[in-house]
Structure 1
Amino acid sequence: MVSSYNDDLRLAHVMADDADSLAMNRFKAQDLKFNSKPDNTPVTEADTAVETSLRRTLSRTRPRDGILGEEMGSSGESSRRWIIDPIDGTKNYLRGVPVWATLIALEDDGEVVASVVSAPALGRRWWASKNGGAFTGRNILNATQLHVSRVPAIRDASLSYSSIDGWVDSGRGQGFVNLMRDCWRTRAYGDFWSYMLVAEGAVDIATEPELELYDMAALDVIVREAGGRFTNLDGTDGVRGPGALATNGLLHEQVLEYLGTD
Protein backbone atom coordinates (compact mmCIF):
# COMPACT_ATOMS: atom_id res chain seq x y z
CA MET A 1 0.00 0.00 0.00
CA VAL A 2 1.31 3.44 -0.90
CA SER A 3 1.52 5.97 1.91
CA SER A 4 -0.73 9.03 1.65
CA TYR A 5 1.88 11.08 3.52
CA ASN A 6 4.61 11.11 0.88
CA ASP A 7 4.50 14.89 0.42
CA ASP A 8 4.77 15.42 4.17
CA LEU A 9 7.67 12.99 4.34
CA ARG A 10 9.50 14.84 1.55
CA LEU A 11 8.98 18.09 3.44
CA ALA A 12 10.37 16.48 6.60
CA HIS A 13 13.50 15.51 4.64
CA VAL A 14 13.92 19.08 3.44
CA MET A 15 13.60 20.34 7.01
CA ALA A 16 16.07 17.71 8.19
CA ASP A 17 18.58 18.91 5.58
CA ASP A 18 18.33 22.42 7.00
CA ALA A 19 18.60 21.13 10.56
CA ASP A 20 21.68 19.08 9.69
CA SER A 21 23.41 22.12 8.25
CA LEU A 22 22.63 24.36 11.21
CA ALA A 23 23.54 21.81 13.86
CA MET A 24 26.73 20.60 12.20
CA ASN A 25 27.89 24.19 11.77
CA ARG A 26 28.06 24.57 15.57
CA PHE A 27 28.99 20.99 16.54
CA LYS A 28 32.28 21.02 18.48
CA ALA A 29 32.47 24.81 18.22
CA GLN A 30 34.72 26.19 20.96
CA ASP A 31 32.40 29.17 21.49
CA LEU A 32 29.12 27.21 21.55
CA LYS A 33 26.64 28.97 23.81
CA PHE A 34 24.30 27.02 26.12
CA ASN A 35 22.06 27.47 29.15
CA SER A 36 20.30 25.23 31.66
CA LYS A 37 16.52 24.89 31.51
CA PRO A 38 14.39 24.82 34.69
CA ASP A 39 14.71 21.01 34.79
CA ASN A 40 18.53 21.39 34.72
CA THR A 41 18.84 19.91 31.23
CA PRO A 42 21.00 21.88 28.77
CA VAL A 43 19.82 23.82 25.74
CA THR A 44 22.32 25.12 23.20
CA GLU A 45 22.14 27.85 20.62
CA ALA A 46 21.93 25.07 18.03
CA ASP A 47 18.76 23.66 19.63
CA THR A 48 16.99 26.99 19.35
CA ALA A 49 18.35 27.76 15.87
CA VAL A 50 17.16 24.41 14.52
CA GLU A 51 13.69 24.67 16.01
CA THR A 52 13.33 28.25 14.80
CA SER A 53 14.25 27.18 11.27
CA LEU A 54 11.81 24.26 11.25
CA ARG A 55 8.99 26.41 12.57
CA ARG A 56 9.68 29.03 9.91
CA THR A 57 9.47 26.40 7.17
CA LEU A 58 6.25 24.93 8.56
CA SER A 59 4.61 28.34 8.90
CA ARG A 60 5.23 28.86 5.18
CA THR A 61 4.45 25.37 3.84
CA ARG A 62 1.89 24.00 6.35
CA PRO A 63 0.33 27.10 7.91
CA ARG A 64 -2.77 25.27 9.13
CA ASP A 65 -0.85 22.58 11.03
CA GLY A 66 -0.06 22.78 14.73
CA ILE A 67 3.47 22.49 16.10
CA LEU A 68 4.89 21.09 19.33
CA GLY A 69 8.60 21.66 19.88
CA GLU A 70 10.84 20.91 22.84
CA GLU A 71 12.24 24.41 23.11
CA MET A 72 9.31 26.63 22.11
CA GLY A 73 6.26 24.68 23.20
CA SER A 74 2.95 24.34 21.41
CA SER A 75 1.38 26.58 18.76
CA GLY A 76 -1.65 26.27 16.52
CA GLU A 77 -4.73 24.07 16.81
CA SER A 78 -5.24 21.33 14.24
CA SER A 79 -5.81 17.59 13.91
CA ARG A 80 -2.43 17.63 12.15
CA ARG A 81 0.54 18.51 14.34
CA TRP A 82 4.28 18.48 13.77
CA ILE A 83 6.30 17.31 16.78
CA ILE A 84 9.94 18.43 16.89
CA ASP A 85 12.97 17.68 19.01
CA PRO A 86 15.63 19.91 17.44
CA ILE A 87 18.54 18.01 19.01
CA ASP A 88 17.84 14.76 20.80
CA GLY A 89 20.99 14.01 22.77
CA THR A 90 21.97 17.58 23.65
CA LYS A 91 24.42 16.40 26.33
CA ASN A 92 26.22 14.35 23.69
CA TYR A 93 26.19 17.36 21.37
CA LEU A 94 27.76 19.52 24.08
CA ARG A 95 30.57 17.03 24.72
CA GLY A 96 31.37 16.34 21.06
CA VAL A 97 29.83 12.84 21.06
CA PRO A 98 28.30 12.24 17.61
CA VAL A 99 25.20 10.40 18.87
CA TRP A 100 22.53 13.10 18.53
CA ALA A 101 19.73 13.71 16.05
CA THR A 102 16.93 15.98 14.93
CA LEU A 103 13.54 14.31 15.34
CA ILE A 104 10.68 15.46 13.10
CA ALA A 105 7.28 13.77 13.28
CA LEU A 106 3.80 14.40 11.92
CA GLU A 107 0.81 13.43 14.05
CA ASP A 108 -2.58 13.19 12.33
CA ASP A 109 -5.67 12.82 14.49
CA GLY A 110 -3.60 11.52 17.40
CA GLU A 111 -1.54 9.00 15.41
CA VAL A 112 2.08 9.51 14.34
CA VAL A 113 1.99 8.96 10.57
CA ALA A 114 5.37 10.13 9.26
CA SER A 115 8.79 10.98 10.63
CA VAL A 116 12.46 11.60 9.94
CA VAL A 117 15.29 11.01 12.39
CA SER A 118 18.49 12.63 11.14
CA ALA A 119 21.88 12.10 12.79
CA PRO A 120 24.35 13.99 10.59
CA ALA A 121 27.40 13.48 12.81
CA LEU A 122 26.87 9.73 12.36
CA GLY A 123 26.13 10.15 8.65
CA ARG A 124 22.79 8.39 9.17
CA ARG A 125 19.11 9.10 8.61
CA TRP A 126 15.97 7.01 9.20
CA TRP A 127 12.41 7.69 8.08
CA ALA A 128 8.97 6.16 7.68
CA SER A 129 5.36 6.94 6.83
CA LYS A 130 2.14 5.09 7.56
CA ASN A 131 1.78 2.12 5.16
CA GLY A 132 4.91 3.28 3.34
CA GLY A 133 7.59 1.25 5.12
CA ALA A 134 10.65 2.34 7.08
CA PHE A 135 14.02 3.14 5.54
CA THR A 136 17.54 4.28 6.28
CA GLY A 137 20.08 5.99 4.05
CA ARG A 138 21.50 9.38 3.24
CA ASN A 139 18.38 10.44 1.31
CA ILE A 140 15.17 9.12 -0.28
CA LEU A 141 17.00 8.09 -3.46
CA ASN A 142 19.66 6.15 -1.55
CA ALA A 143 17.70 4.02 0.89
CA THR A 144 17.56 0.56 2.42
CA GLN A 145 14.30 -0.77 3.84
CA LEU A 146 14.31 -1.55 7.55
CA HIS A 147 13.16 -4.78 9.19
CA VAL A 148 13.21 -5.71 12.86
CA SER A 149 14.87 -8.91 14.05
CA ARG A 150 13.19 -12.28 14.47
CA VAL A 151 14.73 -13.12 17.85
CA PRO A 152 11.97 -14.86 19.86
CA ALA A 153 13.56 -15.42 23.28
CA ILE A 154 14.78 -13.05 26.00
CA ARG A 155 17.89 -15.17 26.56
CA ASP A 156 18.94 -14.45 22.95
CA ALA A 157 17.93 -10.78 22.91
CA SER A 158 19.98 -7.59 22.83
CA LEU A 159 18.66 -4.76 25.06
CA SER A 160 19.50 -1.06 24.81
CA TYR A 161 18.61 1.69 27.27
CA SER A 162 19.74 5.19 28.29
CA SER A 163 20.51 5.09 32.02
CA ILE A 164 19.70 3.26 35.23
CA ASP A 165 18.66 6.29 37.31
CA GLY A 166 15.11 6.67 36.04
CA TRP A 167 14.34 3.00 36.58
CA VAL A 168 15.21 3.25 40.28
CA ASP A 169 12.54 5.95 40.74
CA SER A 170 9.95 4.40 38.42
CA GLY A 171 8.76 1.55 40.65
CA ARG A 172 9.89 -0.86 37.91
CA GLY A 173 13.58 -0.97 38.78
CA GLN A 174 13.82 -4.57 39.96
CA GLY A 175 11.99 -5.79 36.87
CA PHE A 176 14.38 -3.87 34.64
CA VAL A 177 17.39 -5.33 36.46
CA ASN A 178 15.94 -8.82 36.04
CA LEU A 179 15.41 -8.15 32.33
CA MET A 180 19.03 -7.02 31.98
CA ARG A 181 20.26 -10.16 33.72
CA ASP A 182 18.20 -12.45 31.51
CA CYS A 183 19.04 -10.83 28.15
CA TRP A 184 21.95 -12.09 26.09
CA ARG A 185 23.48 -8.62 25.77
CA THR A 186 22.84 -5.16 27.24
CA ARG A 187 24.30 -1.84 26.14
CA ALA A 188 23.34 1.78 26.85
CA TYR A 189 23.37 3.12 23.30
CA GLY A 190 20.83 5.66 24.50
CA ASP A 191 18.38 8.24 23.21
CA PHE A 192 17.01 7.91 19.65
CA TRP A 193 19.75 5.45 18.60
CA SER A 194 18.43 2.58 20.72
CA TYR A 195 15.12 2.68 18.87
CA MET A 196 16.64 3.03 15.42
CA LEU A 197 18.77 -0.03 16.15
CA VAL A 198 15.57 -1.92 16.96
CA ALA A 199 14.12 -0.84 13.61
CA GLU A 200 17.32 -2.01 11.89
CA GLY A 201 17.18 -5.42 13.59
CA ALA A 202 20.55 -4.85 15.31
CA VAL A 203 18.91 -4.57 18.75
CA ASP A 204 15.78 -6.42 19.86
CA ILE A 205 14.55 -4.31 22.82
CA ALA A 206 14.79 -0.59 23.64
CA THR A 207 13.12 0.95 26.67
CA GLU A 208 13.16 4.00 28.94
CA PRO A 209 11.06 4.85 32.03
CA GLU A 210 10.56 8.57 31.34
CA LEU A 211 10.22 10.32 27.99
CA GLU A 212 8.42 13.36 26.63
CA LEU A 213 6.20 13.25 23.55
CA TYR A 214 8.82 15.01 21.42
CA ASP A 215 11.38 12.35 22.45
CA MET A 216 9.19 9.49 21.24
CA ALA A 217 6.98 10.60 18.37
CA ALA A 218 9.46 10.29 15.52
CA LEU A 219 10.70 6.91 16.78
CA ASP A 220 7.29 5.27 16.99
CA VAL A 221 6.28 5.11 13.32
CA ILE A 222 9.75 4.01 12.21
CA VAL A 223 9.73 1.05 14.60
CA ARG A 224 6.17 0.11 13.61
CA GLU A 225 6.77 0.36 9.87
CA ALA A 226 9.88 -1.81 10.29
CA GLY A 227 7.63 -4.53 11.71
CA GLY A 228 8.14 -3.88 15.41
CA ARG A 229 5.91 -2.66 18.20
CA PHE A 230 6.06 0.61 20.16
CA THR A 231 4.07 1.06 23.39
CA ASN A 232 4.25 2.65 26.79
CA LEU A 233 5.40 0.57 29.77
CA ASP A 234 1.80 -0.49 30.46
CA GLY A 235 1.49 -1.98 26.96
CA THR A 236 -0.67 0.72 25.37
CA ASP A 237 0.27 1.33 21.74
CA GLY A 238 1.54 4.82 20.90
CA VAL A 239 3.58 7.60 22.44
CA ARG A 240 1.61 8.79 25.46
CA GLY A 241 3.69 7.23 28.27
CA PRO A 242 4.52 6.24 30.92
CA GLY A 243 7.91 5.62 29.34
CA ALA A 244 8.47 3.74 26.12
CA LEU A 245 9.10 0.18 24.99
CA ALA A 246 10.09 -0.81 21.47
CA THR A 247 10.71 -4.40 20.46
CA ASN A 248 10.70 -6.65 17.44
CA GLY A 249 7.13 -7.57 18.40
CA LEU A 250 7.91 -11.19 19.21
CA LEU A 251 9.42 -10.20 22.55
CA HIS A 252 6.98 -7.48 23.53
CA GLU A 253 4.63 -9.29 25.89
CA GLN A 254 7.55 -11.05 27.57
CA VAL A 255 9.28 -7.73 28.24
CA LEU A 256 6.08 -6.13 29.57
CA GLU A 257 5.90 -8.89 32.17
CA TYR A 258 9.34 -7.92 33.42
CA LEU A 259 8.51 -4.21 33.51
CA GLY A 260 5.35 -4.36 35.58
CA THR A 261 5.50 -2.33 38.77
CA ASP A 262 7.60 -3.79 41.59
Structure 2
Amino acid sequence: MTADLAEDLALALELADLADAASLARFRAVDLDVQTKPDRTPVTEADLAVERTIRDRLAEARPGDGILGEEFGTEGGATRQWIIDPIDGTANFLRGVPVWGTLIALAIDGVPVVGVASSPAMGRRWWAARGMGAWTTAAAGELGTSGQGADAASARFPGARRLRVSAVERLADASLSFQSLAQWREAGHLDRLLALSQQVWRDRAYGDLWSYVLLAEGVIDITGEFDVKVYDLAALVPIVEEAGGRFTSITGEPGPWHGSALATNGRLHEPVLAALADGAIPTS
Protein backbone atom coordinates (compact mmCIF):
# COMPACT_ATOMS: atom_id res chain seq x y z
CA MET A 1 0.00 0.00 0.00
CA THR A 2 2.88 2.36 0.75
CA ALA A 3 3.88 2.70 -2.90
CA ASP A 4 0.31 3.53 -3.91
CA LEU A 5 -0.05 6.02 -1.07
CA ALA A 6 3.12 7.80 -2.16
CA GLU A 7 1.29 8.91 -5.31
CA ASP A 8 -1.75 9.96 -3.29
CA LEU A 9 0.46 11.89 -0.87
CA ALA A 10 2.18 13.65 -3.76
CA LEU A 11 -1.24 14.67 -5.09
CA ALA A 12 -2.37 15.84 -1.65
CA LEU A 13 0.71 18.05 -1.42
CA GLU A 14 -0.04 19.45 -4.86
CA LEU A 15 -3.61 20.18 -3.73
CA ALA A 16 -2.21 22.00 -0.70
CA ASP A 17 -0.06 24.17 -3.00
CA LEU A 18 -3.18 25.16 -4.95
CA ALA A 19 -5.11 25.79 -1.73
CA ASP A 20 -2.35 27.97 -0.27
CA ALA A 21 -2.30 30.18 -3.35
CA ALA A 22 -6.07 30.64 -3.28
CA SER A 23 -6.32 31.33 0.46
CA LEU A 24 -3.32 33.65 0.81
CA ALA A 25 -4.61 35.78 -2.04
CA ARG A 26 -7.56 36.79 0.19
CA PHE A 27 -5.98 36.72 3.66
CA ARG A 28 -6.38 40.11 5.36
CA ALA A 29 -8.15 41.49 2.28
CA VAL A 30 -10.13 44.57 3.27
CA ASP A 31 -12.99 43.58 0.95
CA LEU A 32 -13.21 39.92 2.04
CA ASP A 33 -16.77 38.65 1.64
CA VAL A 34 -18.05 36.86 4.77
CA GLN A 35 -21.40 35.10 5.12
CA THR A 36 -23.08 33.24 8.01
CA LYS A 37 -24.10 29.63 7.42
CA PRO A 38 -27.30 28.11 8.88
CA ASP A 39 -25.29 26.69 11.80
CA ARG A 40 -24.20 30.30 12.60
CA THR A 41 -20.58 29.66 11.69
CA PRO A 42 -18.81 32.02 9.27
CA VAL A 43 -17.79 31.16 5.73
CA THR A 44 -15.63 33.40 3.57
CA GLU A 45 -15.18 33.63 -0.17
CA ALA A 46 -11.76 32.07 0.42
CA ASP A 47 -13.28 28.92 1.98
CA LEU A 48 -15.42 28.48 -1.12
CA ALA A 49 -12.61 29.24 -3.57
CA VAL A 50 -10.19 26.81 -1.91
CA GLU A 51 -12.65 23.94 -1.90
CA ARG A 52 -13.65 24.56 -5.53
CA THR A 53 -9.98 24.59 -6.53
CA ILE A 54 -9.31 21.27 -4.78
CA ARG A 55 -12.43 19.65 -6.21
CA ASP A 56 -11.57 20.76 -9.74
CA ARG A 57 -8.08 19.25 -9.52
CA LEU A 58 -9.40 16.00 -8.02
CA ALA A 59 -11.92 15.71 -10.86
CA GLU A 60 -8.95 15.68 -13.24
CA ALA A 61 -6.53 13.55 -11.23
CA ARG A 62 -8.84 11.11 -9.41
CA PRO A 63 -12.21 11.12 -11.22
CA GLY A 64 -13.27 7.83 -9.63
CA ASP A 65 -12.72 8.97 -6.04
CA GLY A 66 -15.36 10.44 -3.75
CA ILE A 67 -15.11 13.82 -2.04
CA LEU A 68 -16.44 15.06 1.29
CA GLY A 69 -15.95 18.78 1.83
CA GLU A 70 -17.12 21.23 4.44
CA GLU A 71 -18.65 23.72 2.03
CA PHE A 72 -20.02 21.60 -0.85
CA GLY A 73 -20.88 18.31 0.81
CA THR A 74 -20.38 14.78 -0.47
CA GLU A 75 -20.13 13.42 -3.98
CA GLY A 76 -19.15 10.01 -5.25
CA GLY A 77 -18.47 6.86 -3.26
CA ALA A 78 -16.70 6.40 0.03
CA THR A 79 -14.30 3.53 -0.73
CA ARG A 80 -11.67 6.12 -1.62
CA GLN A 81 -12.80 9.50 -0.31
CA TRP A 82 -10.95 12.80 -0.16
CA ILE A 83 -11.98 14.79 2.92
CA ILE A 84 -11.44 18.54 2.78
CA ASP A 85 -11.60 21.41 5.23
CA PRO A 86 -10.72 24.34 2.96
CA ILE A 87 -9.90 26.69 5.84
CA ASP A 88 -9.68 25.20 9.30
CA GLY A 89 -9.84 28.22 11.59
CA THR A 90 -12.12 30.44 9.51
CA ALA A 91 -12.71 32.77 12.47
CA ASN A 92 -8.96 33.32 12.73
CA PHE A 93 -8.71 33.83 8.97
CA LEU A 94 -11.37 36.52 8.84
CA ARG A 95 -9.86 38.37 11.82
CA GLY A 96 -6.36 38.27 10.35
CA VAL A 97 -4.93 35.80 12.87
CA PRO A 98 -2.40 33.60 11.02
CA VAL A 99 -3.29 30.33 12.81
CA TRP A 100 -5.43 28.63 10.15
CA GLY A 101 -4.86 26.17 7.37
CA THR A 102 -6.20 23.76 4.79
CA LEU A 103 -6.77 20.12 5.78
CA ILE A 104 -6.71 17.45 3.08
CA ALA A 105 -7.16 13.74 3.80
CA LEU A 106 -7.65 10.56 1.83
CA ALA A 107 -9.71 7.91 3.61
CA ILE A 108 -9.93 4.35 2.32
CA ASP A 109 -12.97 2.46 3.61
CA GLY A 110 -13.43 5.19 6.20
CA VAL A 111 -9.87 5.08 7.54
CA PRO A 112 -7.71 8.19 6.95
CA VAL A 113 -4.45 7.02 5.35
CA VAL A 114 -3.06 10.29 3.94
CA GLY A 115 -3.17 13.66 5.65
CA VAL A 116 -1.83 17.13 4.84
CA ALA A 117 -2.24 20.21 7.02
CA SER A 118 -0.97 23.37 5.35
CA SER A 119 -0.75 26.70 7.16
CA PRO A 120 0.59 29.17 4.60
CA ALA A 121 0.28 32.30 6.75
CA MET A 122 2.70 30.67 9.19
CA GLY A 123 4.84 29.23 6.40
CA ARG A 124 4.40 25.67 7.71
CA ARG A 125 3.09 22.34 6.45
CA TRP A 126 2.67 18.88 8.00
CA TRP A 127 1.93 15.62 6.20
CA ALA A 128 1.78 11.85 6.65
CA ALA A 129 0.81 8.62 4.93
CA ARG A 130 0.40 5.17 6.45
CA GLY A 131 3.75 3.45 6.77
CA MET A 132 5.67 6.53 5.63
CA GLY A 133 5.94 8.52 8.83
CA ALA A 134 4.83 12.06 9.63
CA TRP A 135 6.82 15.05 8.45
CA THR A 136 6.95 18.83 8.53
CA THR A 137 8.75 21.63 6.83
CA ALA A 138 11.53 22.87 9.06
CA ALA A 139 10.65 25.95 11.09
CA ALA A 140 12.93 28.96 11.13
CA GLY A 141 16.21 28.08 12.80
CA GLU A 142 15.71 24.31 12.51
CA LEU A 143 17.80 21.86 10.55
CA GLY A 144 15.69 19.36 8.64
CA THR A 145 16.36 15.64 8.35
CA SER A 146 15.77 13.52 5.29
CA GLY A 147 15.13 9.80 5.12
CA GLN A 148 12.94 7.01 3.85
CA GLY A 149 9.31 8.02 4.13
CA ALA A 150 9.93 11.56 3.00
CA ASP A 151 10.35 10.40 -0.61
CA ALA A 152 6.97 11.64 -1.84
CA ALA A 153 7.81 15.14 -0.67
CA SER A 154 11.61 15.16 -0.71
CA ALA A 155 11.95 17.02 -4.00
CA ARG A 156 9.63 19.77 -2.83
CA PHE A 157 10.73 19.90 0.82
CA PRO A 158 14.38 18.76 0.96
CA GLY A 159 14.73 19.98 4.55
CA ALA A 160 11.73 18.04 5.88
CA ARG A 161 11.87 17.01 9.53
CA ARG A 162 10.34 13.77 10.80
CA LEU A 163 7.79 14.14 13.57
CA ARG A 164 7.73 12.24 16.84
CA VAL A 165 5.40 12.67 19.81
CA SER A 166 6.78 13.27 23.27
CA ALA A 167 7.89 10.62 25.74
CA VAL A 168 6.04 12.22 28.68
CA GLU A 169 4.51 9.50 30.88
CA ARG A 170 2.97 11.37 33.82
CA LEU A 171 0.02 13.71 33.81
CA ALA A 172 1.94 15.93 36.21
CA ASP A 173 4.53 16.52 33.48
CA ALA A 174 2.07 16.92 30.60
CA SER A 175 1.09 19.94 28.53
CA LEU A 176 -2.64 20.03 27.72
CA SER A 177 -4.38 21.94 24.92
CA PHE A 178 -8.06 22.37 24.08
CA GLN A 179 -10.18 24.34 21.64
CA SER A 180 -12.16 26.56 24.03
CA LEU A 181 -13.80 26.52 27.45
CA ALA A 182 -17.14 27.29 25.78
CA GLN A 183 -16.89 24.15 23.68
CA TRP A 184 -16.39 21.95 26.73
CA ARG A 185 -19.09 23.82 28.66
CA GLU A 186 -21.64 23.30 25.91
CA ALA A 187 -20.78 19.58 25.81
CA GLY A 188 -21.39 19.34 29.56
CA HIS A 189 -17.80 18.41 30.40
CA LEU A 190 -16.19 21.65 31.52
CA ASP A 191 -15.85 20.33 35.07
CA ARG A 192 -13.79 17.40 33.80
CA LEU A 193 -11.56 19.59 31.70
CA LEU A 194 -10.93 21.87 34.68
CA ALA A 195 -10.21 18.87 36.90
CA LEU A 196 -7.76 17.51 34.35
CA SER A 197 -6.10 20.92 34.00
CA GLN A 198 -5.34 20.87 37.73
CA GLN A 199 -3.40 17.63 37.34
CA VAL A 200 -1.19 18.55 34.38
CA TRP A 201 1.90 20.71 34.25
CA ARG A 202 0.47 23.29 31.85
CA ASP A 203 -2.70 24.07 29.91
CA ARG A 204 -3.23 26.32 26.90
CA ALA A 205 -6.01 26.74 24.30
CA TYR A 206 -3.95 26.60 21.10
CA GLY A 207 -6.98 25.45 19.14
CA ASP A 208 -7.84 24.20 15.64
CA LEU A 209 -5.20 22.28 13.68
CA TRP A 210 -2.40 23.95 15.66
CA SER A 211 -2.99 21.78 18.75
CA TYR A 212 -2.71 18.52 16.81
CA VAL A 213 0.43 19.36 14.87
CA LEU A 214 2.11 20.63 18.03
CA LEU A 215 1.27 17.28 19.59
CA ALA A 216 2.76 15.45 16.60
CA GLU A 217 5.89 17.61 16.97
CA GLY A 218 6.21 16.47 20.59
CA VAL A 219 5.87 19.88 22.20
CA ILE A 220 2.45 19.26 23.80
CA ASP A 221 1.10 15.94 25.03
CA ILE A 222 -2.74 16.02 25.13
CA THR A 223 -5.42 17.78 23.13
CA GLY A 224 -9.17 17.29 22.94
CA GLU A 225 -12.33 18.93 21.71
CA PHE A 226 -16.06 18.49 21.13
CA ASP A 227 -18.47 19.50 18.37
CA VAL A 228 -16.14 18.64 15.50
CA LYS A 229 -16.86 17.19 12.08
CA VAL A 230 -14.90 14.61 10.16
CA TYR A 231 -13.37 17.27 7.89
CA ASP A 232 -11.95 19.01 11.00
CA LEU A 233 -10.04 15.88 11.97
CA ALA A 234 -9.43 13.41 9.15
CA ALA A 235 -6.16 14.90 7.88
CA LEU A 236 -4.81 15.12 11.41
CA VAL A 237 -5.34 11.43 12.25
CA PRO A 238 -2.47 10.03 10.12
CA ILE A 239 -0.21 12.92 11.14
CA VAL A 240 -0.70 12.18 14.85
CA GLU A 241 -0.61 8.41 14.50
CA GLU A 242 2.39 8.25 12.17
CA ALA A 243 4.21 10.45 14.69
CA GLY A 244 3.57 7.73 17.30
CA GLY A 245 0.50 9.22 18.96
CA ARG A 246 -3.02 7.98 19.48
CA PHE A 247 -6.23 9.54 18.13
CA THR A 248 -9.76 8.63 19.26
CA SER A 249 -13.00 10.28 20.28
CA ILE A 250 -13.31 11.54 23.84
CA THR A 251 -14.98 8.21 24.66
CA GLY A 252 -12.32 6.09 22.97
CA GLU A 253 -13.68 5.22 19.51
CA PRO A 254 -10.94 5.27 16.87
CA GLY A 255 -11.10 7.62 13.92
CA PRO A 256 -12.57 11.05 13.16
CA TRP A 257 -16.25 10.14 12.76
CA HIS A 258 -17.64 10.51 16.29
CA GLY A 259 -18.09 14.24 16.92
CA SER A 260 -15.26 14.64 19.43
CA ALA A 261 -11.51 14.10 19.49
CA LEU A 262 -8.79 13.15 21.91
CA ALA A 263 -5.21 13.00 20.73
CA THR A 264 -2.27 12.17 22.97
CA ASN A 265 1.29 10.94 22.81
CA GLY A 266 -0.12 7.45 23.41
CA ARG A 267 1.40 6.95 26.83
CA LEU A 268 -1.16 9.27 28.41
CA HIS A 269 -4.20 8.17 26.44
CA GLU A 270 -5.74 5.64 28.80
CA PRO A 271 -5.36 7.81 31.93
CA VAL A 272 -6.95 10.76 30.12
CA LEU A 273 -9.79 8.62 28.74
CA ALA A 274 -10.49 7.35 32.24
CA ALA A 275 -10.39 10.83 33.69
CA LEU A 276 -12.81 12.23 31.13
CA ALA A 277 -15.13 9.23 31.46
CA ASP A 278 -15.82 9.54 35.18
CA GLY A 279 -14.19 12.78 36.30
CA ALA A 280 -11.86 10.97 38.68
CA ILE A 281 -8.34 11.96 37.68
CA PRO A 282 -5.90 9.16 38.54
CA THR A 283 -2.88 10.23 40.53
CA SER A 284 0.35 10.21 38.57
TM-score range, shorter chain: over 0.9
Q: Does 1:60 align with 2:60?
A: yes
How many Å apart are 1:12 and its aligned residue? Answer: 0.6
> Residue in 2 aligned with 1:157?
174
CA distance in 1, matches of 2:189, 2:129: 32
Matches within 5 A, 1:1-262: 2=2, 4-137=4-137, 139-260=156-277
Tell me, yes or no, if the aligned pair for 1:3 and 1:129 is still in contact at 8 Å: no
- Deviating beyond 4 angstroms after TM superposition, the runs of 4 or more aligned structure 1 residues are none
Contact 1:176/1:258 (8 A) holds in 2: no
CA contact (8 A) 1:3 1:131 kept: no
- The structural deviation recorded for 1:141 is 2.7
Question: Which AA in structure 2 matches 1:31?
Answer: D
Amino acid at match of 1:128: A
Contact 1:134 1:226 in 2 (8 A): yes
Structure 2 SS opposite 1:246: strand
Specify the SS of the correspondent of 1:87.
Answer: strand
Q: Is the 8 A contact 2:124 2:137 kept in 1?
A: yes
Matched residue SS, 2:7: helix
Partner SS, residue 115 of structure 1: strand
Q: CA deviation at 1:2?
A: 4.5
Post-superposition offset of 1:165: 1.0
SS of the residue corresponding to residue 238 of structure 1 reads: coil
Residues 203-228 of structure 1, C-alpha deviations (whole Å, 9 max, x = no match): 10010022100000001110000000
Counterpart code for 1:230: F
Kindly report the root-mean-square deviation, in angstroms, between the aligned alpha carbons of the 2 structures: 1.3
Once residues 192 and 78 of structure 1 are traced to their aligned partners in structure 2, the CA distance between those partners, rounded to angstroms, is 24
> Which whole-Å CA distance do the structure 1 matches of 2:3 and 2:194 have between them?
40
Deviation at 1:24, TM superposition (A): 0.5
More deviation in 131-140 or 151-160? 131-140
Structure-1 separation of matches of 2:132 and 2:85: 23
Q: How far apart are 1:3 and its partner, in Å?
A: 5.1
AA paired with 1:146?
Answer: L
Q: 2:250–2:262: 8 Å Cα contact kept in structure 1?
A: yes
Instruction: Say if 1:64 and 1:78, in contact at 8 Å, map to a contact too.
Output: no
State the distance in 1 between where 2:240 and 2:34 align. 32
Q: What is the DSSP-based 3-state SS (H/G/I as helix, E as strand, rest coil) of the residue aligned with 1:171?
A: coil
Which segments of 5 or more consecutive residues in structure 2 lack a partner in the other structure? Answer: 139-155, 280-284
Q: Separation in 1 of the partners of 2:120 and 2:274?
A: 36
Which shifted more, 128-137 or 139-148? Answer: 139-148
Give CA deviations for 1:143-178 in whole Å, capped at 9, x if unaligned: 100000000011100011110112112232211110
Structure 1 stretches of 5 or more lacking a match? none
Q: One-letter code of the match for 1:54?
A: I
C-alpha distance in structure 1 between counterparts of 2:278 and 2:54, whole Å: 39
Give, in angstroms, the shift of residue 55 of structure 1.
Answer: 0.2
Q: Deviations over 1:224-251 (max 9, x none)?
A: 0000000001111111224100000000
Q: Distance in 2 between matches of 1:2 and 1:11?
A: 14
**Which secondary structure does the structure 2 equivalent of 1:4 belong to?**
helix
Structure-2-length-normalised TM-score: 0.90
Instruction: Give me the whole-angstrom Cα distance separating, in 2, the residues matched to 1:261 and 1:98.
Output: 37
- Aligned partners of 1:3 and 1:130 also within 8 Å: no
Q: What secondary structure is seen at the aligned counterpart in 1 of 2:212?
A: helix
d(CA) in 2 for partners of 1:92, 1:209: 18
Once the two structures are aligned, what percentage of the paired residues are identical? 53
Conservation of the 8 A alpha-carbon contact between 1:205 and 1:248: yes
| Residues 26/147 of structure 1: CA separation in 2 closer, same or farther (3 Å cut) | same
